[in-house]
């Protein structure tokens, strides 16, 4: 409950001073921050939401007195989690509605205190509780749920991919341009040599085609324009 995005403060066994003669400490309290650095000890008033865990040996008479005192003092919602028997929660509200019982398939709600309904079984099952906590923490960061995080990641990935794609395309374009430029330079050299009537043997041809130094190829082309033999070029 404390992870709910609308909850400012929650505590276990926090003490509340209903009046000078009555103090109560719910098992779990959800409320605005009741204490400041200058004021420590029992918090005045009562929490809007209180949760009690009733286990084996629970004093039922004392529990009912506690519930009535908290409701009379202003607590809006009291939830009693029954740890013995079928998974269930008893709901008590200040508006005078009769006690309701929620089963494991129901959802616990506290409008005005909690933003999100809590599956009842999440109060009994640790894995389900982790899922509820994760969703709440994600909402605190501005994401509706885990799917929203994944979708945001996909969207960012697409944008980044496009940016990287543009950069990669430029790099590939430059690299491809260099390759194609080199191939064209090779062809130009062979054309000049052919025009000069100079035969190119296989070894020289392979040597030329393996060259990626554009400046060297340009030098060969310049020499070939005036050459009478391969020795004049290479």
Average the pLDDT over 35-55 and give the result.
79
Least confident segment among 99-103, 124-128, 210-214: 210-214
Q: Check residues 225 and 181 and name the one with the higher pLDDT.
A: 225
SS3 9: strand
Q: How far is CA 99 from CA 80, 84, 139, 150, in A?
A: 10, 18, 31, 41
Predicted TM-score (pTM) of the model is 0.60
- Note the pLDDT of residue 180: 45
Provide the sign of the torsion angle of the four alpha carbons 4, 6, 11, 13, taken in this order.
negative
Angle value at C-alpha 171, between 222 and 220, nearest 5 degrees? 10
For residue 54, give the DSSP letter: E
pLDDT at 90 > cutoff 80 = yes
CATH of domain 9-142: 3.90.1570.10
CATH 3.90.1570.10 range(s) for the chain read: 9-142
SS3 content of the chain, % helix, strand, coil (to 5): 45, 20, 35
pLDDT at 152 > cutoff 70 = no
pLDDT at 68 > cutoff 60 = yes
Place 174 in a pLDDT band, splitting at 50, 70 and 90: very low
Least confident segment among 1-15, 90-104, 124-138, 148-162: 148-162
| Euclidean distance between CA atoms 44 and 17, whole angstroms | 5
- Note the pLDDT of residue 156: 62
Q: How far is CA 1 from CA 24, 60, 155, 188, in A?
A: 20, 24, 31, 77
Average the pLDDT over 102-115 and give the result.
92
């Amino acid at each position: 409950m404390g992870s709910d995005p609308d909850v400012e403060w929650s505590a276990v066994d926090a003490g509340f001073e209903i009046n000078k003669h009555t103090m109560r400490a719910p098992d779990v309290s959800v409320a605005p921050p009741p204490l400041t650095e200058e004021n420590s000890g029992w918090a005045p008033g009562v929490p809007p939401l209180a949760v009690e865990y009733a286990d084996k040996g629970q004093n039922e008479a004392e529990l009912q007195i506690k519930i009535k005192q908290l409701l009379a003092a202003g607590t809006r919602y009291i939830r009693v989690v029954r740890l013995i028997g079928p998974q269930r929660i008893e709901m008590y509200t200040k508006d005078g509605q009769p006690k309701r019982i929620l089963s494991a398939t129901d959802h616990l709600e506290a409008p005005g205190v909690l933003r999100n309904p809590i599956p009842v079984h999440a109060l009994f099952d640790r894995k389900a509780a982790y899922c509820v906590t994760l969703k709440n923490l994600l909402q605190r960061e501005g994401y509706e749920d885990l799917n929203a995080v994944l979708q945001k990641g996909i969207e960012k990935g697409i944008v980044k991919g496009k940016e990287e794609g543009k950069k990669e395309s430029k790099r590939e374009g430059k690299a491809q341009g260099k390759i194609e430029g080199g191939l064209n330079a090779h062809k130009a050299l062979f054309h000049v040599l052919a025009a000069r009537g100079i035969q190119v043997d296989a070894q020289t041809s392979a040597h030329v085609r393996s060259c990626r130094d554009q400046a060297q190829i340009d030098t060969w082309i310049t020499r070939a324009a005036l050459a009478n033999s391969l020795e004049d070029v290479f």
